[in-house]
Amino acid sequence: MKNLKIILAVILTISIVAVSLNSRADDSKPKPYPLDSCLVCGMKLGSMGEPYGFVYKGQEIKVCDKSEKTTFDKDPDKYLKKIADAEAKLKK
């Protein structure tokens, strides 16, 4: 019975730590989207209505509409490179 209490205490402690770490990760703000155009099609954001925004690996992403997220999801690295290239160009 004593061993069971110790095991439960350890499990409870691990659970509390895990929840605490997870909450901190959710509190961080995503890196802002640096472009004024759709990441997928390149059109000016807002020209076709309200843009659709989401966060991918801590980076805010904006596209013309929700259907373009599917295109983004097929090759996210390709689109993240566009953001990195745009940021590098802005730094020059």
pLDDT at 6: 83
Number of H helices, E strands in the chain: 3, 2
Give the other-Cβ count within 10 Å of 85's Cβ: 10
The yes-or-no verdict on residue 87 having pLDDT over 80 is yes
pTM of the model: 0.67
- How many domains does the chain contain in total? 1
The yes-or-no verdict on residue 51 having pLDDT over 80 is yes
Domain membership of residue 34 as a residue range: 2-91
- Please report which confidence band the pLDDT of residue 48 belongs to, taking 50, 70 and 90 as the band edges: confident
Distances, alpha carbon 13 to alpha carbons 8, 16, 27, 47, 71, in Å? 9, 5, 22, 51, 42
Q: Output phi, psi for 45, to 5 deg.
A: -65, 135
Of 34 and 1, more confident: 34
